[in-house]
Amino acid sequence: LGLTTTLTLVVFYLAKINLFSSIVGLAAFLAQLISVIMGVRHFRDRCQNGLISYGSAFGTSMLISVFGGFIVGVAYYLLFFWVDRQLIENSLDSIYQQLSQSGLKEETIEKMMGVQKMTFEYPGLFFFSRFFEVVTEVFFIALFSSVFLRTKANPFNNNIG
C-alpha cells in the first residue's frame, strides 16, 4: 500500500501534475484499493488456508493501512520538505484557487487557508495529516472490501476420521 501510493505520488510529481488534484487523489485511491485487496487475499490464501472472517479481513486491511500510511507520510514529508520545497507554495496557490472557484466567502477562504498553511508549517503535522488520510481512506475501503473477501468454511466438507 505504501509503496504503490508512493510510486503514484512520484509518477505524478515527475509529470509535473498538481499533487492535490482530483486525478492524483483518484489514482492514489485506486492504488490503495488494489493494494488492500491483494494484501488481504494474500493473507487469506497463504496464511489462513483460504478462510477469513469479516473481522479478520477488516483488521488485516487496517494493519496494512497503518504501515502503508506511515510510508506515505514519510514519502510526502521527504518530497515536500527535502526534495522540492516549492511544492508547498504551489500547493497553497492551487488550494486557494480551488477554494476561490467554489464560491465560498473570502472570510471563509482565509480561515481555511490558515489551516492549510499551518499544516505546511509543521512537518510533523503534515506527516500526520497524510498518515491519517491514508488510514481513513483504507477504513472505508476495508468496510466494503471485507464483505467480498471473507470466506466461510463449508460445513459439509469435514474430514472426520
pLDDT for the residue 65 = 96
The C-alpha cell that represents 17 in the structure block:
501534475
pLDDT along the chain (161 residues), means of 10: 92 90 92 96 93 95 96 94 91 89 90 91 92 96 95 68 45
Q: How many Å apart are CA 93 and CA 65, to the nearest integer?
A: 30
The pTM of this model reads 0.84
pLDDT for the residue 47 = 93
pLDDT for the residue 152 = 81
pLDDT for the residue 159 = 56
pLDDT for the residue 161 = 45
Q: Give residue 122's identity as a one-letter amino acid code.
A: Y
